[in-house]
Structure 1
Amino acid sequence: MKKERIIIGISGATGIQYGIKALQLLKSTELETHLVISKSAELVRNYETDFTREEILSLADNVYTPQDIGASIASGSFKTKGMLIAPCSVKTMSEIATGVTSSLVSRAADVILKERRRLVLMFRETPLHLGHIQTMEKVTQMGAIVMPPVPAFYSQPKTVDDIVTFSVARALDLFDLDIDIPRWEK
């Protein structure tokens, strides 16, 4: 029996830490990870982290270049649990909403939607104008889940990493994955 798979897309919005954390958390699961990082995300990596490109790529089981629109993750016959884009930029979300895809990140997301699989977008933009809201509405109507990484403070985070971990674990919850995080209990 083949391992279940999940695609992780990292686009060029601020917050590359969310995509990195997703890969780190998925290491403790049985899922096979398939990673694609946009060209813009490579620029953001230099500004926001001390991670090298190689360190990030080593967290995934399979890695694709953003221009490789013929990659296996761009085909509906490539079965997955779905795709998490963390972070998701306005550009990437807009490409998904229109079906006009210019990279493997948006092409793989388009395929996920057409196959009726789970697509979670950790949309990283604020404040929002009406166009952003309408685009979020459109991708939601298409079947995606827009999940901005909004922190929860009932977990009493002590570090930025605690906040990032909690947000990513909540996004992975949407794939029926049980990542160990503080849960609301009363």
Structure 2
Amino acid sequence: MSDERDEQRIVVGATGASGLPLLVQCLRIIREADGFRSCLIMSHGARTTLAWETGLGVDEVRALADEWYEPEEIGAGPASGSYRTAGMIVVPCSMKTLAGIHSGYAETLLLRAADVTIKEQRPLVLCARESPLSPIHLRNMQELSMIPGVRICPPMLTFYGNASTIEDMTYDVAARLLMPFGIEAPRYHRWNGLGE
């Protein structure tokens, strides 16, 4: 096991949009990855959606993270660029949060951490969760996508891995969300091209 000082910290934000099983799977994959640790920030909306979509309690999800902060803790480590991280993922990312990140409206720790990630030019992965997308949503995403390091990654399903359960598909989506940080999830099915 890596020494804590040698591990790369990934800030993991979660909002109240649908998709909290993806958050849980991302935390599990980070926990299993050698050399990484997670720092969790859950909005109050995320806690409500968590109960509906997973049946898990907040404490059970916090136990999957290496450290966690309340969204009101605006002075916590992730609010500063000197707090070392490998970047940040927001999973799921509501359109409200995406708009806040787009405008630099750093009202909560989650929004401030994303703002810091952008200004420090670290990877920021936004698992944008909405359908259909309005022109406002698309404009915000398009403008954010032009910032170096920002990736807009809606939770798109793939079928080439022949996943047979929702859990398998959730794992594959979570694995792809974490690829920008250099994490290789062991059960992820990469596309290897068409067979002979």
The interval holding the TM-score normalised by the smaller chain is: over 0.9
SS at match of 1:142: coil
Q: Does 1:57 align with 2:62?
A: yes
Equivalent residue number for residue 27 of structure 1: 31
For 2:142 and 2:191, locate their aligned partners in 1 and report how far apart those are by CA, in whole Å: 28
Superposition pairs of residues 13-162 of structure 1, within 5 angstroms? 13-29=17-33, 30-143=35-148, 144-162=150-168
| Aligned equivalents of 1:133, 1:52: Cα separation in 2 | 33
Q: Is 1:185 paired with 2:192?
A: yes
1:55-74 Cα offsets, whole Å, 9 max, x none, are: 10000010100111101011
Which of residues 10, 16, 37 in structure 2 aligns to 1:12? 16
Deviation at 1:165, TM superposition (A): 0.6
Give distance in 2, aligned partners of 1:39 and 1:101. Answer: 16
SS in structure 1 at match of 2:131:
coil
Supply the distance in 2 between the matched residues of 1:15 and 1:32 (Cα, whole angstroms): 21
TM-score of the aligned structures, taking structure 2 as reference length: 0.92
Give the CA deviation at 1:17: 0.8
Matched residues in 2 for 1:148 and 1:167: separation? 9
Gaps of 5+ in 1: none
Instruction: State the alpha-carbon separation in 1 of the partners of residues 56 and 119 from structure 2.
Output: 34
Taking the aligned partners of 2:70 and 2:59, their CA distance within structure 1 comes to: 13
Q: Considering only aligned residues, what root-mean-square deviation do their CA atoms show, in Å? A: 1.0
SS across alignment from 2:182:
coil
Q: Distance in 1 between matches of 2:155 and 2:51?
A: 21
Task: Look up the equivalent residue of 2:7 and give its one-letter code.
Answer: K
Aligned residues between the structures: 186
Structure 2 gaps, min length 5: none
What residue identity is the alignment partner of 1:161?
E
Q: Percent sequence identity over matched residues?
A: 35
1:171 aligns with 2:177: yes
Q: Partners in 1 of 2:183 and 2:70 — Cα distance?
A: 26
In structure 2, what residue type is equivalent to 1:17?
A: P
- Runs of 4+ more than 6 Å apart: none
Q: What one-letter code is carried by the residue in structure 2 that aligns with 1:92?
A: T
How big is the shift at 1:142?
2.5
